[in-house]
């Protein structure tokens, strides 16, 4: 490793826990819309909208929130209440405000590499989420 000068890490689910929080929020979101569609159907529409919106919003919680709002409007045929939209926004805010939970061993590995290599984070995610 003597020729290696820089080590780049992806952030989400490489350095810290991320994906389970998206799945947890997705489940809560689907529950908000169960009067319109079953959970699995809401999740399919949400995934479709997330994929469609990636070029526009990129990866991250804010794009996920916008896709949830779009999905709520779509599956409810624009009959979703403002209170439910507010709850969807609150779900996203909870994700943003959640403390970072490092994966096991990350701190030890980074401390061992610090000073020996230039360490960088390389991500396609939202800068503020990272």
pLDDT at residue 10 in the model: 86
Task: Give the end-to-end CA distance of the chain in Å, rounded to a whole number.
Answer: 28
pLDDT at residue 125 in the model: 66
Q: With beta carbons less than 8 A apart as the criterion, state whether 130 and 13 touch.
A: no
| Mean pLDDT score, 8-19 | 87
Q: Looking at the predicted structure, is the pLDDT value of residue 126 above 70?
A: no
CA distance 104 to 12: 13
pTM: 0.86
The per-residue pLDDT of the chain, averaged, comes to: 93
- Confidence bin at 14 (pLDDT 50/70/90): confident
Instruction: For residue 25, count other CB atoms closer than 10 A to its CB.
Output: 20
pLDDT at residue 19 in the model: 93
User: Could you give the percent of the chain with pLDDT greater than 90?
Assistant: 81
Q: Domains plus CATH for the chain?
A: 19-100 (1.10.150.240)
73-101 per-position pLDDT tens digit:
999 999 999 999 999 999 999 999 999 89
Residue 119 CA to its chain's centroid (Å): 23
pLDDT at residue 2 in the model: 73
| Mean pLDDT score, 37-47 | 98
């Amino acid at each position: 490793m003597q020729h290696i000068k820089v080590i780049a890490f992806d952030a989400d689910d490489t350095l810290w826990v991320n994906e389970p929080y998206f799945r947890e929020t997705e489940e809560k979101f689907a529950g908000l819309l169960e009067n319109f569609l079953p959970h699995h159907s809401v999740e399919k529409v949400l995934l479709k909208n997330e994929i469609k919106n990636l070029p526009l919003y990129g990866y991250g919680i804010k794009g996920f929130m916008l896709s949830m709002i779009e999905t709520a409007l779509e599956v409810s045929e624009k009959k979703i209440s403002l209170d439910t939209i507010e709850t969807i926004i609150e779900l996203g805010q909870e994700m943003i405000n959640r403390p970072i939970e490092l994966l096991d061993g990350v701190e030890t590995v980074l401390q061992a590499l610090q000073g020996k290599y230039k360490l960088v984070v390389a991500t396609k995610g939202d800068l503020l989420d990272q």
